[in-house]
């Protein structure tokens, strides 16, 4: 089974890694800006109409989700895929070309798409704002990735698919299905020959549109922020720690459980809306059930470290990954709580929701991608990690940032929700809306500072990565750890 | 079985696909016909209001505003009757939003006026001290894109049978006329002039009189119609 002779080709993996860093800094730079805007509205005008909050918010969400996170997913795929399948991209000119094409089309498409948002082309649907020509580019990019996945699988030496691969395949299929159905739209120019050629109108209307959108929106979270990140942790944590995955049965159960349950939970975005009641209740119930497979994966990871907790002290990468699993558990407990009807009545539309989003994205997604890239860097460049001290400092700074972020948003959200419904002794509303806005100022400020900490951490990460690439001590062979797959 | 699946990627992928597609099938398909039926009184958007709606979308007002009043006393007291599914029948896309940084707007037409909006959109803090809503000054000079709005109206009329140029309530009159682009534009200009005058801003009136509708006027037409 051992085949040390394989020389893996990391060209495409490296390119996507650079992009992950670039889009991470851009997207979260914008995140910090809009966070400060809510505290200090004058910041809306620093670039005229192009820096208004409403213009930048979709740019933030799209850049971090489809720029930062997707780049991270692709980077790790082009690394992990070769290693667990035991084939090199070198062995197939075709797959190498597909990989490079995938990268360039994705990069150029992403830049154009962001530019289109800046000049007000948007369909308004969250995480699906891009107008139809960009949707077509997205589909092509996705198909290229699919060719790369199944192409590599086609020429594999290792016959059995490692757990991470299950999750990459699911990501590919899930996003493909969701994206296609949610972006069904009719370009108005093609029908009438008039007006803006980029404009389109949704195939669905009203409550139906909402239903499809949140079936998509919720599962975009599933298949971009959850499933592929689990793919990463199943590979990188065992590799970095040298510990085999705790339980194969638990991973089976969690995988199929997650696949089945996740898709039902979209209804929790529509509680007390005008979509049918039974669907809202299904959304609630399945959200609670979702705790099981989610915690299954997370516990499987934490138990992988059983008896090896000493590593947590010595290795900052283990720190990042263990905390990532912990944040994953936190947000997969918090989400179901927010899906309970009575809690949702309070939490929906408030800052508690972004609070929830960000303990998942910053703690789980962000930390996992950071750790994955720093695990790969020494293997890309055959050099040691430039500074573990710096990585350590980054870890603590960013952790502080996350805690500031979610705790301020919990308080803000619950305060706001309570004030909206508060009544005086005669049963009249106690507060005008603006009262419920001004009261949030200190929390908005704290959140922005937390975000700034996280952003500074990203710069430390970028510097460390760059130095590892150029100036760190060279090593003969890549760092070796005992590993479950010897991959 | 799982061991076998893991060695047969094709069947593995098919298995995953079936498992994830299942929920969508059960949840989405049965309700499709039902939920899109308009309630009495719901009419398609006039050309001007549709153009205003496009402005609302283009500047992503939905990033901070919801249009969905939930059935709680605290919400109906603040915003008016709770929302009904049929009221959204002509909303493509829906604009419920997911975050209320600002108040719900589903019935804002009942309690705000054209001049209030004009002042507020020009400088929110001058109307509501402490507001964190941005000012949208560019809407006062940008010209609304009536052609694209017309293209959208015509598209939904042709493709989805939205009842433009039809008698919807059975009183023998056409409820929302669309007609040719020229006819529709004339109608929109007339509506726009009325609103521009209500805003008491000379510059807006002048623009409309010269045949150009500023985005803000279209937007206000849309907001006034949210009832
Ligand atoms: C420096 C770090 C970050 C900061 C300061 C930040 C800030 C913000 C702010 C201010 C909002 C708008 C909230 C509102 O409308 O009230 C937001 C929304 C959002 N952000 Fe971030 N963000 C950061 C990182 C991330 C990352 C890494 C991701 C994902 C990978 C992410 C995903 C999202 C999503 C999905 C939303 C929409 C939430 C919703 O609709 O409820 N953010 N962010």
Looking at the structure of chain B, the number of domains it has is 2
Provide the ipTM. Answer: 0.93
If one counts every other C-beta atom within 10 angstroms of the C-beta of residue A470, the result is 10
Q: Given this model, what pLDDT does residue A44 score?
A: 96
Q: For residue B84, tell me if it sits in a domain.
A: yes
- pLDDT tens for B1-11 read 677 888 888 88
* CA angle, residues A463, A67, A396, in degrees to nearest 5: 40
> Does B40 score more than 80 pLDDT?
no
For range A99-105, the mean pLDDT: 97
A409-448: per-residue pLDDT in tens?
999 999 999 999 999 999 999 999 999 999 999 999 999 9
Q: Determine, yes or no, domain membership for B175.
A: yes
Q: DSSP class of residue A322?
A: H
pLDDT of residue A5: 66
Number of domains in chain A: 1
Structure confidence at residue A1 (pLDDT): 39
Residues B15 and B87 in one domain: no
Greater model confidence, B24 or A240: A240
Please say if the pLDDT value at position A485 is more than 60: no
Are B68 and B180 found together in one domain? yes
**What is the per-residue pLDDT across B209-218, written as a single tens digit (0 to 9) for each?**
999 999 999 9
Largest CA distance in chain A: 81
- Least CA distance to B38: which residue of chain A? A206
Q: Considering the domain boundaries, does residue A90 fall inside one?
A: yes
The structure tokens listed for A177 are: 């299905």
Same domain, yes or no: B191 and B100: yes
The DSSP bridge partners found for residue A474 are A383
Residue B117 belongs to some domain of the structure: yes
pLDDT over threshold 70, residue A400 = yes
Is B132 found in the same domain as B89? Answer: yes
For residue B10, give the H/E element and its range. Answer: helix B9-28
What distances in angstroms separate CA B69 from CA A341, A414, A432, B188, B219, one per listed residue? 16, 19, 16, 29, 21
Backbone angle region of B150, left / alpha / beta, with phi > 0 → left and psi within -120 to 50 → alpha: alpha
Residues B20, B94 within the same domain: no
Cβ contacts of residue A227 below 8 Å, gap of 6+?
A167, A170, A171, A174, A258
Give residue A480's pLDDT: 67
Residue A219 predicted with pLDDT over 60: yes
Same domain? For B87 and B24 the reply is no
Question: Which sign does the torsion angle of CA B37, B42, B43, B46 carry?
Answer: negative
Please indicate, yes or no, if residue A371 is contained in any of the structural domains: no
Q: What is the mean pLDDT of residues A8-22?
A: 96
Domain, as residue range, for B21: 2-30
pLDDT of residue B32: 62
Cis peptide bond N-terminal to A91, omega within 30 = no
Residues B22 and B115 occupy one common structural domain: no
Q: Examine the domain organization and report whether B14 and B65 are in the same domain.
A: no
Q: Are A368 and A232 in contact (CB under 8 A)?
A: yes
**Residue among B71, B103, B107, B104 nearest B87 (CA):** B107
**A33 exposure class (CB count in 10 Å sphere: 0-12, 13-18, 19+):** buried
Q: Ligand 1: which residues within 6 Å by Cβ?
A: A 28, 31-32, 34-35, 57, 60-61, 64-65, 68-69, 351, 353-354, 357-358, 361-362, 365-366, 451, 454-455; B 98-99, 101
Q: pLDDT digits over B182-209, tens only?
A: 999 999 999 999 999 999 999 999 999 9
B168 pLDDT band, cuts 50/70/90, is confident
For residues B92 and B153, membership in a common domain is answered with: yes
**What's the token pair of residue A429?**
């509303």
Classify residue B214: in a domain, yes or no: yes
Phi first, then psi: what are they for A101, rounded to 5°? -60, -45
Tokens representing residue A124 in the block = 């308004």
Q: How many contacts does A have with B, using Cβ atoms within 8 A?
A: 251
Judge whether B39 lies within some domain.
no
Per the structure block, which two tokens stand in for A258?
């997650």
pLDDT reading at A486 higher than 70: no
pLDDT > 90 fraction of chain A, expressed in percent and rounded: 78
pLDDT in tens, A262-317: 888 888 999 999 888 888 898 899 999 999 999 999 999 999 998 888 888 889 99
Does pTM surpass 0.90?
yes
In this prediction, residue B184 carries a pLDDT of 95
Q: What is the number of the ligand 1 atom nearest to the C-alpha of A24?
A: 27
As a whole number, mean pLDDT of residues A364-391 equals: 95
User: For residues B120 and B199, what is the distance between their CA atoms, to the nearest angstrom?
Assistant: 11
Asked if residue B74 and residue B9 are part of one domain, the reply reads no
Residues B24 and B56 in one domain: no
Q: B209: domain CATH number?
A: 1.10.760.10
Q: Are residues B69 and B168 in the same domain?
A: yes
Q: Which of A54, A259, A275 sits opposite B134 (nearest CB)?
A: A54
In a domain, A321, yes or no: no
| A212 in contact with B, Cβ within 8 Å | yes
Q: Pairing state of beta strands A200-202 and A46-49? A: unpaired
Residue B172: inside a domain: yes
Distance separating alpha carbons of residues A211 and A204, to the nearest angstrom: 9
Structure tokens at A160: 């059995």
In a domain, A16, yes or no: yes
Tokens describing residue A411: 């308080």
Tell me how far apart the alpha carbons of residues A478 and A381 are, in angstroms, rounded to a whole number. Answer: 9
B40: in domain: no
Within a domain: residue A147? yes
| Average pLDDT in chain A | 92
Integer CA distances (angstroms), A352 to A126, A217, B4, B55, in order: 18, 18, 44, 29
> Is residue A80 in some structural domain?
yes
The domain of A11 spans 7-160
Which pLDDT does position B38 carry in this prediction?
79
Is B41 contained in some domain? no
- Asked if residues A57 and A32 have their Cβ atoms less than 8 Å apart, the reply is no
């Amino acid at each position: 089974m051992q085949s040390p002779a394989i020389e893996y080709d990391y060209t495409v993996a490296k390119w996507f890694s650079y992009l992950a860093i670039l889009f991470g800094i851009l997207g979260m730079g914008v995140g910090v800006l809009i966070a400060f805007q809510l505290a200090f509205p004058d910041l809306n005008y620093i670039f005229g109409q192009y820096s208004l909050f409403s213009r930048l918010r979709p740019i933030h969400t799209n850049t971090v989700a489809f720029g930062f996170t997707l780049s991270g997913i692709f980077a790790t795929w082009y690394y992990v895929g070769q290693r667990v399948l035991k084939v090199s991209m070198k062995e197939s000119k075709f797959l190498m070309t597909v990989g490079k094409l995938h990268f360039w089309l994705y990069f150029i498409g992403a830049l154009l798409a962001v530019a289109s948002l800046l000049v007000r082309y948007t369909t308004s649907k969250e995480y699906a704002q891009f107008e139809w020509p960009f949707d077509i580019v997205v589909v092509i990019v996705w198909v290229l990735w699919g060719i790369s996945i199944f192409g590599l699988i086609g020429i594999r030496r290792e016959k059995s698919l490692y757990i991470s691969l299950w999750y990459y395949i699911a990501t590919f299929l899930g996003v493909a299905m969701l994206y296609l159905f949610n972006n069904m739209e009719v370009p108005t120019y093609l029908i009438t020959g008039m007006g803006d050629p980029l404009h389109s109108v949704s195939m669905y209307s009203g409550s139906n549109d909402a239903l499809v959108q949140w079936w998509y929106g919720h599962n975009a979270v599933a298949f971009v922020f959850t499933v592929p990140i689990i793919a990463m942790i199943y590979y990188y944590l065992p590799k970095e720690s040298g510990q085999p995955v705790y339980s194969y049965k638990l991973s089976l159960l969690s995988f199929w459980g997650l696949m089945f349950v996740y898709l039902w939970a979209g209804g929790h975005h529509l509680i007390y809306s005008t979509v049918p009641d039974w669907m809202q209740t299904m959304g609630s119930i399945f959200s609670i059930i979702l705790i099981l497979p989610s915690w299954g994966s997370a516990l499987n990871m934490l138990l992988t470290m059983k008896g090896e907790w000493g590593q947590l002290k010595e290795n900052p990468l283990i720190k990042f990954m263990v905390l990532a699993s912990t944040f994953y558990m936190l947000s997969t407990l918090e989400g179901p709580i927010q899906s309970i009807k009575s809690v949702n009545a309070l939490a929906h539309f408030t800052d508690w929701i972004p609070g929830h989003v960000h303990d998942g994205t910053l703690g789980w997604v962000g930390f996992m991608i950071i750790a994955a890239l720093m695990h790969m860097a020494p293997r890309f460049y055959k050099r040691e990690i430039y500074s573990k001290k710096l990585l350590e400092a980054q870890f603590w700074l960013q952790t502080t940032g996350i805690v500031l972020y979610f705790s301020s948003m919990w308080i803000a959200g619950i305060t706001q929700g309570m004030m909206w419904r508060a009544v005086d002794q005669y049963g009249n509303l106690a507060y005008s809306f603006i009262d419920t806005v001004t009261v949030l100022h200190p929390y908005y400020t704290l959140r922005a500072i937390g975000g700034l900490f996280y952003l500074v951490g990203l710069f430390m990460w970028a510097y460390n990565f760059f130095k590892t690439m150029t100036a760190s001590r060279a090593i003969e062979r890549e760092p070796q750890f005992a590993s479950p797959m010897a991959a | 079985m799982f061991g076998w699946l893991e060695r047969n990627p094709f069947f593995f992928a098919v298995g995953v696909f079936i498992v994830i597609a299942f929920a969508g099938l059960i949840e989405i398909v049965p309700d499709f016909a039902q939920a899109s039926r308009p309630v009495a009184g719901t009419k398609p958007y006039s050309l001007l209001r549709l153009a205003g709606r496009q402005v609302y979308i283009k500047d992503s007002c939905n990033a901070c505003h919801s249009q969905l009043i939930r059935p709680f006393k605290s919400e109906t007291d603040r915003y008016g009757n709770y929302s009904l599914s049929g009221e959204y029948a002509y909303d493509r896309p829906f604009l419920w939003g997911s975050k209320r940084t600002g108040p719900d707007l589903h019935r804002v037409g009942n309690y705000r006026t054209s001049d209030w909006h004009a002042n507020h959109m020009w400088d929110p803090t001058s109307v509501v001290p402490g507001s964190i809503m941005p000012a949208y000054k560019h809407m006062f000079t940008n010209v609304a894109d009536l052609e694209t709005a017309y293209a959208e109206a015509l598209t939904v009329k042709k493709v989805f049978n939205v009842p433009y140029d039809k008698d919807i309530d059975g009183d023998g009159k056409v409820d929302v006329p669309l007609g040719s682009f020229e006819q529709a534009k004339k109608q929109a200009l007339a509506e726009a002039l009325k609103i521009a005058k209500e805003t008491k801003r000379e510059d807006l009136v002048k623009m409309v009189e010269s045949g150009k509708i500023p985005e803000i006027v279209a937007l206000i037409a849309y907001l006034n119609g949210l009832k």
